Each structure stands twice: as C-alpha cells, then as structure tokens.
C-alpha cells in the first residue's frame, strides 16, 4: 500500500517536471522532490489560512503570515514546473521561508532554517549546499534592511501577497491542467493517425525515450499484450536489430 502510494505521488509530481528535464536523471529527481515538497507546504498554508479565517480570535496573526508564506511555495513550485528555473525557484523559496523566523524573532533566528542546507546537499550535492548557504545569507541581509520598513504594513502586504499568490497559483494550475489535456489529446490523435497509416511495427515512447506502448502488429510479433510494454519493455531487453518505427 505504501509503495503504491509512493508510486502514485511520484508519477503525479513527475508529471509536473519541466519537459526539458530527462526522466530518470538526478536532475529529474531533484525537480520532482522540490515541486512535491513545495506543494505540500502550500497545502499546509491553506490549512493555516483556513484556521485563521475560522478562528481569528483564537489563533495569532503569525499563523496568517505562515499560511501566506507556505501558500507562496505553490507559486514557486508551479513556476519551476512551467519555466524550469530550478535555481531561481530555490532562491525565491528560501527568501520567502526566511520570513518565518524573522517574523518570530529577528534575522538572527534564521539559524532555524539551517537544516534546509541538508536539502540543498541532497538535491545538488556540495554545490547545492553552498547555494543554500549563500541564499540564506542573502535572505538575512534583505530582511535586516527591509524589516523595519515592512513591519508596520506587514498584515496589509501579506494579505495582498496572499491574494496575488493564490490567483497566480490558480492561473498556473489551470494552465497546466488545460495544457496537459491538450498535449494528451494531440498525442492520442498522432498515435491513432500513425497506426492507421503505418502497416508495420510501431512503438510509442515519451520525450525521454522510454517505451510507452506499441501497435498490435508489433506486439503480436513479440507474442505479448500491448499493455505489457513499459520502460523496462521487451523491446529494450531483446535489443532488436531491426527496431520498429517510433512515435514520440
């Protein structure tokens, strides 16, 4: 059950990775992890904002700030998904997350975010850890300069940022959904057209070259079901000398 859930989540977040990132590479894993964790943070942000809206007399305004900061992570994640700017996404995420300890106890409390350096090391090795350190240092410097100016207008600014971020996130989400649906429709149309025109064996693969399927004639030649083809398919295992035609 746990493995099945991991596979479903991995496929869902993997589908959001920018098409230029090849599946199965360390970069793909890093992008998928970053997008998944930031979307999870945004879900926590929605919960925090709901609690602040329902019980404003019980919870503090800090929960409102926390909710907006976490919700902004969805904008960062969708930006990385759509544009592929991984380093820029990390920098924006760290700057926004650095506001949490600053609001709690000043720039010195940025030390609370030091465990994020481990994330940088996991995603990109030593270079990632160094980039995280530099980004956190820049965040501390910016918060030190802007803190006294921004603090009197914090609630207003965070409210405006939250609404803008939510609208931006909804726009990107709808754009991704519509775009994915259109791409899937075009792929199916191309596949049906190709199978109707080609009389021989025809294989279907994704942008990274992984086998997604084949037409019935080629599957009958191999003696397998069409659904049995996958990224560890019979085609790859047999290393056929006369490879079938392929449609990407």
* DSSP state string for the chain: -HHHHHHHHHHHHHTTS-TTSPTTSHHHHHHHHHHHHHHHHHHHHHHHHHHHHH-TTTS-HHHHHHHHHHHHHHHHHHHHHHH--HHHHHHHHHHHHTHHHHHHH-GGGGGGGTTHHHHHHHHHHHHHHHHHHHHHHHHHHHHHHHHHHHGGGHHHHHHHHHHHHHHHHHHHHHHHHHHHHHHHHHHHHHHHHHHHH--S-EEEE-TT--EEEE-HHHHHHHTS-GGG--TT-HHHHHT-SSPPEEE-
* pLDDT value of residue 239: 41
Q: What is the pLDDT of residues 175-199, one digit of tens each?
A: 666 666 666 677 776 766 666 666 6
pLDDT at 122 over 70: yes
Mean pLDDT of 148-156: 54
Contact present, 229 and 222 (Cβ < 8 Å) = no
Percent of the chain, pLDDT > 90? 0
Q: For residues 100 and 161, which has the higher predicted lDDT (pLDDT)?
A: 100
Average pLDDT over residues 137-145: 69
Provide the pLDDT for residue 246: 46
If you average pLDDT over residues 134-163, what whole number do you get?
62
Exposure of 204 in the CB half-sphere (CA atoms within 13 A): 21
Residues across the chain: 248
Weakest-pLDDT range from 71-75, 87-91, 142-146, 186-190: 142-146
Instruction: Provide the phi-psi class of 239: left if phi over 0, else alpha when psi is between -120 and 50, else beta.
Output: left
DSSP for 70-96 reads: HHHHHHHHHHHHHH--HHHHHHHHHHH
Residue 77 has what pLDDT?
87
Q: What is the pLDDT of residue 244?
A: 47
25-55: pLDDT as tens digits: 888 888 888 988 898 888 888 888 888 778 8
- The pLDDT of 197-215, averaged and rounded, is 61
pLDDT of residue 243: 47
Contact 183, 189 (CB under 8 A): no
Q: Quick check: 69 pLDDT over 80?
A: yes
**Alpha-carbon distances of 95 from 77, 124, 149, 223, rounded to whole Å:** 14, 19, 17, 56
């Amino acid at each position: 059950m746990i493995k099945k859930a991991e596979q479903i989540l991995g496929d869902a977040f993997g589908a959001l990775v920018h098409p230029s990132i090849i599946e199965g590479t360390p970069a793909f894993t890093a992008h998928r992890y970053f997008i998944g964790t930031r979307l999870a943070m945004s879900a926590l942000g929605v919960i925090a904002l709901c609690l602040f809206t329902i019980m404003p007399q019980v919870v503090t305004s800090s929960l409102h700030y926390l909710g907006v900061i976490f919700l902004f992570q969805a904008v960062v994640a969708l930006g990385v998904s759509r544009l592929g700017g991984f380093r820029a996404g990390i920098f924006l995420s760290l700057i926004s997350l650095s506001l949490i300890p600053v609001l709690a106890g000043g720039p010195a409390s940025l030390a609370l975010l030091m465990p994020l350096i481990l994330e940088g090391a996991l995603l990109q090795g030593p270079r990632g850890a160094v980039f995280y350190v530099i980004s956190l240092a820049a965040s501390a410097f910016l918060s030190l300069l802007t803190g006294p100016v921004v603090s009197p207008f914090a609630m207003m600014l965070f409210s405006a940022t939250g609404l803008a971020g939510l609208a931006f996130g909804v726009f990107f989400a709808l754009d991704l959904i519509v775009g994915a649906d259109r791409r899937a429709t075009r792929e199916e149309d191309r596949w049906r057209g190709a199978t109707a025109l080609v009389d021989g064996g025809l294989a279907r693969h994704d942008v990274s070259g992984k086998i997604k399927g084949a037409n019935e004639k080629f599957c009958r030649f191999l003696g397998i079901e069409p659904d049995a083809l996958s990224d560890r398919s019979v085609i790859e295992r047999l290393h056929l000398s006369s490879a079938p035609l392929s449609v990407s």
